Amino acid sequence: MDQEEAVKLITEKLSKKKSKTKFYFSDLAKILDMKPRLAKKLINKMVQDEVLEYWSSGSTSLYGLKGAGKQHAADGED
């Protein structure tokens, strides 16, 4: 799977899920149907390209579509 296919697949799946905006790395690897080591390269590239954003509470790391989620709505961002 190349980067374009991965971006398309991830954005389609995540944008359909209206009740949840942040996902664990393992959720994204399952969507891509890839082993974690291979999925990590694609997911990190999506973060660099600002398709996804990385969020961490210090103990938990999550990923979401850039600009989606409650924190963006509260900040007035789209």
pLDDT per residue as tens digits for the range 22-63: 999 999 999 999 999 999 999 999 999 999 999 998 999 999
* Model confidence at 20: pLDDT above 90: no
CB-based contacts of 39, cutoff 8 Å, min separation 6: 25, 28, 29, 32
What percentage of the chain reaches a pLDDT higher than 70?
87
Q: Domains in the chain, start-ordered, CATH in brackets?
A: 3-75 (1.10.10.10)
Structure tokens at 78: 């789209």
pLDDT at residue 65, rounded to an integer: 92
pLDDT confidence tier of residue 7, bands split at 50, 70 and 90: very high
